Amino acid sequence: MAEQQAGPPGFSVVPGAAVHRALAGRRAEIIDLVEDAYRLHGEGRTVNPPSYFLRFPDRPSARIIALPASVGGEVDVDRTDGVDGADGADGVDGIKWISSFPTNLDLGIPRASALLLLNDPRTGYPYACLEGSIISAARTAASAASAARRLAAQRGTPRRVGFFGTGLIARFVQDYLSQLGWQIDEFGVFDLSAQYAASFADQVLGPTGRPVRVHPDAESLIRSSDLIVFATTAATPHVTDPSWFDHNPLVLHISLRDLGTEVVLRSANVVDDVEHVLKADTSVHLAEQRTGNRDFLDATLYDVLAGTFTAPADRPVVFSPFGLGVLDLVVGAHVHRLATAAGDTVEIGGFFHELDRHQSAGAS
């Protein structure tokens, strides 16, 4: 007879401070974890449906995105709450719900906010709700660092790193790039806000002890960088001159909509997932619409990890990650395990109430 679970799993909340504590000092671990998730995804051992965009006619710049996903296989997503059957081999199901409201910056609060809901794969019951913006930023940065590490190993280590856009994501990307141990000669910064650029240069890059140059324009930054991190809130392409990239840099196109079609078509293009990234008017989606084909896409990050793609040295190489829900689940489940072991979760007793099919029928 099959083993019967005694009841639904417990339910806990992991606040942002607990998420931060769980991730602190674990950048190398998270990069490896994200790479494991990419391998599982590339091997077909995940379910990652298309993201759903909730948009608002009265707030055209705002959106909320739902990213459902399921991860199976041997990945470190085990829970330590004592619930039968909730081990690493079972994986995890769940959804990220993340909003982007650029007008928040005028209110003095971050553009993005998010939560992550984890579901038990045996019963389907949700067992944890985590503050998701830190997890989202960490998995985005770990993905970028993974791509940078693997592609730079093929092309040579960048010595000049430039940041185009200086928000939270740029800060996280720099934190995770620092884990790679590169010897950087100079950092560059450009932002439409001179104040943001100066603050990033001082507070984020200043402690590195390396020279930092705040550039007066986008062209200057791009031409003087071996690796360029695009982390803007741009809704449409604004960097359209391919000649700015004649020195064949490595480009981490995190914000997805910065590069014009001519830049894309003259580059080697690596993405995280072909079907996901060719939507929502990303730069590569616009290139597909222009050309009517996908021939300009050279590889996925899984191909890079598997050793089946070698990045060329005679063209710019652009990594455009749309962002996969499976990454949030793997990192989020790991955070939940660490927070639970540290006694850092908020347990919500009795969250599930109607657990008997008939007993409470007719009760007032």
Give pLDDT, residue 90.
58
Q: What is the pLDDT of residue 361?
A: 53
φ/ψ of residue 312, rounded to 5: -75, 155
Does the pLDDT of residue 30 top 60, yes or no? Answer: yes
pLDDT average, residue stretch 204-224: 98
Q: Give the pLDDT confidence of 311-349 residue by residue, as tens digits.
A: 999 999 999 999 999 999 999 999 999 999 999 999 998
* Predicted pLDDT at 105: 84
Domain boundaries for CATH 3.30.1780.10 within the chain: 12-136+325-347
Q: How many CB atoms lie within 10 A of CB 149?
A: 19
Outline which parts of the chain fall under CATH 3.40.50.720. Answer: 146-320
* pLDDT at 84 > cutoff 60: no
pLDDT in the model for residue 8: 73
Contacts (Cβ under 8 Å, ≥6 apart) of 238: 218, 258, 260
pLDDT tens digits for range 53-82: 999 999 998 999 999 999 985 554 443 333
CATH domain 12-136+325-347 topology: ornithine cyclodeaminase, domain 1 (3.30.1780)
Does position 282 have pLDDT exceeding 50, yes or no?
yes
> What mean pLDDT is predicted for residues 34-42?
96
In the predicted model, is pLDDT for residue 254 greater than 50?
yes
Side chain identity, residue 300:
T
Beta strand segments in 140-242, E: 160-164, 186-190, 212-214, 227-230
Whether residue 277 has pLDDT greater than 80: yes
Q: How far apart are the first and last CA of the chain?
A: 38
Q: Mean pLDDT for the chain?
A: 91
Looking at the predicted structure, is the pLDDT value of residue 215 above 70?
Answer: yes
Considering the segment(s) 146-320 as one domain, its CATH architecture is 3-Layer(aba) Sandwich (3.40)
Higher pLDDT, 190 or 4: 190
Q: In a 3-state reduction of DSSP, which class is residue 308? A: coil
Mean pLDDT, residues 227-239 taken together: 96
Digit-coded pLDDT (tens) for 100-143 = 998 998 898 888 899 999 999 988 999 999 999 999 999 999 99
**235: alpha, beta or left? (left if phi > 0; alpha if psi -120 to 50):** alpha
Q: Give me the pLDDT at residue 352, please.
A: 85
Q: What is the pLDDT of residues 86-99, one digit of tens each?
A: 333 458 999 999 99
- On the question of pLDDT at 83 being above 80, the answer is no
Q: Is the pTM of this model over 0.75?
A: yes
Nearest Cα residue to 48 out of 18, 69, 26:
69
Longest CA–CA separation in the chain, Å = 75
